[in-house]
Amino acid sequence: MTALIVGGDKLGNIPQVLTDNGVDDYIHWSGRKKISYNKEIPSNIDIVIVLYDFINHNTAGAVKKMTKNMNIPCIFSKRACSDLMKKMNNCSHCKYKGLRT
């Protein structure tokens, strides 16, 4: 499974949390610059994780709209491993893909 992480200048332990939960690869966009909301989500992305406390509002809106149009699940989380784990546990797509049991 491949994830796109949008937001956060530094990810800290988040890549390890993703690996522990079945995410094989990830792409990271910082989300602070204007260029971020003009990017296209790659076609190989299975889930998008938006770290909403480190992102500009236009980028968050653009990512939400793109994921909805592409029918890709999107998780909005703080940049904290505990919050991300909670959101992933509540994500029906994560359970379906076998990430969480």
Looking at 1-101, list the stretches that DSSP marks H as alpha helix, in order from N- to C-terminal side: 14-20, 57-70, 81-89, 92-96
Query: Does residue 101 form part of some domain?
Result: no
CA distances (Å), 91 to each of 14, 23, 35, 86, in order?
Answer: 17, 14, 29, 9
CATH number for the domain that contains residue 53:
3.40.50.2300
Q: What is the pTM of this model?
A: 0.82
Query: Does residue 53 form part of some domain?
Result: yes
- Total count of domains within the chain: 1
Nearest one of 101, 56, 51 to 81, comparing CA atoms:
51
Residue 100, pLDDT score: 46
| Residues 9-37 pLDDT 10s | 788 888 888 888 788 899 998 766 665 55
Residue 31, pLDDT score: 66
Residue 18, pLDDT score: 86
Q: In what order do the strands lie in the sheet with 47-51?
A: 25-29, 2-6, 47-51, 74-77
| Residues 47-99 pLDDT 10s | 999 988 778 788 888 888 999 999 999 999 888 888 888 887 777 666 545 44
Query: Does residue 29 form part of some domain?
Result: yes
Residue 74: give the domain boundaries: 2-96
Query: Does residue 18 form part of some domain?
Result: yes
